[in-house]
Amino acid sequence: MSNLSAADTQSSSGSPQPQVLMASPRLLLSTALVAAAAGTGPAAAPAAARSALSAARTSVAAAYDSSCSSENTTQPFAAWADRADYVAAPGGSFEPADTRWSLLGGATIADDNEPWHVSGDDTDASSLALRPGASANSPSFCGGADHPTLRLFARSANGSPATALLTVRYTGPGDHLLAALPLGVITAGKSWAPTSTTLTLSGLRLVTGTKLGITLTSLTGTVLFDDVYVDPYRRS
């Protein structure tokens, strides 16, 4: 990916955070607009998706899922000077009983939880393990203007830095895929740490639909992920 810039990599407490290299919002926005309008390029929407996009454009106000407004929020990153209110992504704690994520290419569930148990459940004991080339797709969750950022925890399983690609998938009514857009590369260190905040660009609801999902794909090394959260920009 070109035109990438380094995001924040250091928490206020001094502990290193997994680095996320993010494409500039202007570049990503341009890519999404071009792909959605023309159906070309890496984020191209197939014909069926373009049809769904057209439907979303004409009925987006009615289509927005009203259940999104009643989600429970917490402040899982408060220890890292981030007091935003977040919503847990479905299945994002990667406990074995929850199978809502699709595991592909050798992705597995590992016996290793982020040590802070930010979900509030001290029995959580598992995370997502992605060896090189493996990936995992989340289910769709609330997107739109109220969910502009996401954040999660990551570490390298082998001690040396490992990298993974973070892709967002925008969906409309009926979970039709409208477009997929690479948001950046996460570089994970040997210790668990929250990633830097990543924009989902879901504020452009007319383009990006009413819900979104993410795909994590390991590029180098084996990466562990845990506790995926979306920031609805509601402040207590």
Residue numbers at the binding site for Ca ion (CB under 5 A): 93-94, 113, 124, 126, 226
In angstroms, the CA 42 to CA 132 distance is: 21
Strand ranges (E), the chain: 4-6, 19-23, 85-88, 102-104, 108-110, 127-130, 135-137, 141-142, 149-156, 162-171, 177-188, 193-194, 198-199, 211-220, 223-234
Give whichever of 82 and 226 is closer to Ca ion, judged by the CB atom.
226
Tokens 């994002």 appear where?
Answer: 92
**Shortest gap between Cβ of 219 and Ca ion (angstroms)?**
22
Neighbours of 190 (CB within 10 A): 14
In angstroms, the CA 198 to CA 54 distance is: 27
Integer-rounded Cα Rg, in Å, for the chain is: 17
Q: CA quadruple 51, 53, 58, 61: dihedral positive or negative?
A: positive
Give whichever of 4 and 110 is closer to Ca ion, judged by the CB atom.
110
Residues 6+ apart with CB under 8 A from 74: 85, 86, 88, 118, 120
**Shortest gap between Cβ of 227 and Ca ion (angstroms)?**
6
Give whichever of 35 and 107 is closer to Ca ion, judged by the CB atom.
107
Give whichever of 115 and 133 is closer to Ca ion, judged by the CB atom.
115
**Shortest gap between Cβ of 119 and Ca ion (angstroms)?**
7
Give whichever of 116 and 233 is closer to Ca ion, judged by the CB atom.
116
Give whichever of 21 and 152 is closer to Ca ion, judged by the CB atom.
152
In angstroms, the CA 180 to CA 93 distance is: 23
**Shortest gap between Cβ of 34 and Ca ion (angstroms)?**
38
Nearest Cα residue to 80 out of 193, 191, 189? 193
**Shortest gap between Cβ of 112 and Ca ion (angstroms)?**
9
**Shortest gap between Cβ of 88 and Ca ion (angstroms)?**
11
Give whichever of 39 and 139 is closer to Ca ion, judged by the CB atom.
139
**Shortest gap between Cβ of 132 and Ca ion (angstroms)?**
22
